[in-house]
Structure 1
Amino acid sequence: MAGATAACFFGAYCPDSFTDEMIAGGVVPVVAGQFAPNGTAVPNGDMYRLTGKYSFGSGVAHADWVGGGAFTAPPEGEQAEFRLMMMPRSEVELLGNWDVLGLRAASSYDYSIDADLPAHATFEFFSPTRYRGGPMYDLGVIILTEIGHMGWTIGVVRRAIDEAVSIAKVRTRMAAPSVIAEDPRFRYEFAMGVSRFEAAETWCRQAFRTAEQAAEAGSGRDPVLATNIKQSATLLTQEGLAVVRSLYEWCGTEALRDGPLQRCFRDMHAGSQHVLVGDRNPHEFADLRLSDPDAS
């Protein structure tokens, strides 16, 4: 998922001179990287010298191309830019450091870059030029990445619910008079937790639908839309995490042992730490609604 999203960004925001190379033979490559500005890019004509050390390169061990974020180091008197930059995987040194609780298969290793790359393999982060891809790409990197995070969260939580239901229908806890699914306490927690998650999912879908419609109308970079999307995705993640944690506890040693529910538990705890669904989003949402209660 992360690799496909990153490929779409560079496919939409870079000129033909780069995308013809990136998508040689008509095959969309696997693209990975961390786009936080942890590098420095020194301009030299139509090239940049990029140096930096990065973490969380989601899928970087599987990638054909690898990217990194950087602030440019322009001549004195000129404004630095935050740019995303792309280079072949061969230009990157993998550093390991992915001994983690969840999302182990992502191979999101640390990596370092010290390489020259052409300017046409980069784009400006906050207001990129859209060369192709349709109005949806006017929503920008952050919002389009939130879409992927929302889809991942929905998938993991739904899988956890399915697995827990299967266990609850046949598993009897020690000294309990019936299977878990017949316990009134489980039934109440299950109903309320799933309801809260599905309510958050509804808001998420509504927020993204509103943003997509705005993009089609030519106003896709509305900060109000972005704030609502980020908060809806944060709420979805937190409600999903709460559901998965509750189901894990109810399913006892069936969830403790290696299996799909245990993996959902680990992956949700890992994914909930992502900066895109972090605690900054509620503060931005509060700032918006306290200053303009009608903003939606």
Structure 2
Amino acid sequence: MLPLLRKNAAEGEQLGALAPATLEALDRVGVFKITIPTELGGSALGARDSAEIVKALGQGDASAGWLVIVSSAARNALGFDSKARDEVFASIADWVGPIMFGATVFAPKVGDGREVDGGYMVKGKWSFGSGCKHAAWGAVGFEYDDQASGERRRAMGILSRDQYEIVDDWKVMGLQATSSNSVRSETEIFVPDYRVVHTNDLPRLTEALRGKYSGLAFKHGPIGGMVATTCSFAALAVGIAQGALDSFVQQATKRPPFNLPYKTMSEMASIQVVAGKARAVINSANAVLWRHADEIDRRALAQEEFFPWNEPEITTDLVHLIHECLRVVDGLLLALGSSAVVLSNPLQRAVRDIHVLATHGAFRIDPAAEISGRDMFGLDPFPMIAALSSPPAANADRPPVPQPGRARVGDMASAFPTR
């Protein structure tokens, strides 16, 4: 599919959504169903298989790979009331594209709601709804005042396609075809009880899915599933870098240098060094990526848990390789020269796409490294998703932190929902 993806990538950027031919081709091979249960027509793939698919797509069109990752939002519907699950997946066999997107579920500012008989009245604007132009349903966050307790609570609701409008505000430098527009409802819309869950219940609901459906995807625990998703985003960066290197090699074998007497740029030692270093970085990134993806799947198959203190190191490894791939792609464009900045050149798109990927809040290297560093020194973790409250502490015990004189972190199992 790479020739098709590369051919249609520019059209997707112009549309702000995947080109129709790309969307149909992706849907035909089932990539939007890789995390959906086999009982519902999906593949329920594990971390390694999912990451391999995303990496391959990233070599042709990063937006396609991104949408395959975020299409896993449909998995959230499995934890809702069975009536909501049945509604969302009723058209899964015929729907072309991701069945559901998510927008502003865990952000600091979400929509506003109020309790009414049988459900909630909700309105608001929800940003970064990747895939909203292609999906049948949307999951959004909202807050409301609990009538019984008087508390301010946060929930996630599922909206049907007719309950929101798509805002034309996805004007960005890269990943333009992901249709990551905002969606909004300026007037209140009714969301029935069965299409709502409270965000502090999400860890429990996610855990309850383990073993409920067939497939490796449903053998992962909550933390395993979280780091598996991070693996897919890292795989997208590796795919972008690999696609950029392939294009670089192809172009360097045809283009003459600007001010040296070689027939092609590929004869230049400096170009050979750039290519060799790029391949080394990509090979190293692959090694780290597959190491973690395979360990996620191994633990799932062996029914071994991931604990909260396992996650920071893995996440930082993966975020670090995203940024190393970014530097590779930047270097390839600079080495090729001014011909690479022409909009018809795939290298410039790779640069723009991987920069947008790396700016995502979850993939900024310094915050990720700080979280990992705090863990190394035995310091208490920061709450990373304030929308979720911590459940009671479990009884799992963490090995002592090896630094003498440091107070070890106690039981951190309760920290997962805040991460």
Same fold (TM over 0.5): yes
In the alignment, is the contact (CA less than 8 A) between 1:2 and 1:58 conserved in 2? no
Alpha-carbon distance in structure 1 between the residues aligned to 2:161 and 2:225: 21
User: 1:192: how far off?
Assistant: 2.5
In the alignment, is the contact (CA less than 8 A) between 1:98 and 1:108 conserved in 2? yes
Equivalent position of 2:373 in the other structure = 286
Alignment pair present for 1:256 and 2:256: no
Q: Identity of counterpart residues, as a percentage?
A: 21
Q: 96, 116, 122: which one pairs with 1:50? A: 122
For residues 187-232 of structure 1, give each alpha carbon's deviation from its aligned partner in whole angstroms, at most 9, with x where no partner exists. 2233223322332332232223323333445554521232233212
For residues 265-288 of structure 1, give each alpha carbon's deviation from its aligned partner in whole angstroms, at most 9, with x where no partner exists. 111111111112124211111111
Equivalent position of 1:31 in the other structure = 100
Map 1:103-142 to 2 at 5 A: 103-113=175-185, 114-125=188-199, 126-129=202-205, 130-131=208-209, 132-133=212-213, 134-136=218-220, 138-139=222-223, 142=226
Q: Secondary structure at the match of 2:276?
A: helix
Q: Secondary structure at the match of 1:33?
A: strand
Kindly provide the amino acid, as one letter, of the partner of residue 122 in structure 2.
L
In the alignment, is the contact (CA less than 8 A) between 1:196 and 1:239 conserved in 2? yes
User: What is the count of residue pairs matched by the alignment?
Assistant: 294
Judge which range, 28-37 or 161-170, deviates more: 28-37
Map 1:33-182 to 2 at 5 A: 33-34=102-103, 35-37=105-107, 38-44=110-116, 46-75=118-147, 77=149, 82-113=154-185, 114-125=188-199, 126-129=202-205, 130-131=208-209, 132-133=212-213, 134-136=218-220, 138-139=222-223, 142-178=226-262, 179-182=264-267
Kindly provide the amino acid, as one letter, of the partner of residue 8 in structure 1.
R
Judge which range, 234-243 or 38-47, deviates more: 38-47
Alpha-carbon distance in structure 2 between the residues aligned to 1:155 and 1:281: 22
User: 1:250: how far off?
Assistant: 1.2
Equivalent position of 1:196 in the other structure = 281
Give the root-mean-square deviation of aligned CA atoms.
Answer: 2.8
Judge which range, 72-81 or 239-248, deviates more: 72-81
Structure 1 residues 19 and 282: CA distance shift in structure 2, 3 A: same
Kindly provide the amino acid, as one letter, of the partner of residue 69 in structure 1.
G
In the alignment, is the contact (CA less than 8 A) between 2:88 and 2:99 conserved in 1? no
User: 1:33: how far off?
Assistant: 2.8
Q: Secondary structure at the match of 1:115?
A: strand
User: 1:182: how far off?
Assistant: 2.7
In the alignment, is the contact (CA less than 8 A) between 1:200 and 1:232 conserved in 2? no
In the alignment, is the contact (CA less than 8 A) between 2:235 and 2:289 conserved in 1? no
Kindly provide the amino acid, as one letter, of the partner of residue 338 in structure 2.
T
Greater share of residues in strand: 1
What's the TM-score, normalizing by structure 2? Answer: 0.63
Equivalent position of 1:20 in the other structure = 86
Structure 1 residues 105 and 239: CA distance shift in structure 2, 3 A: same
What's the TM-score, normalizing by structure 1? Answer: 0.86
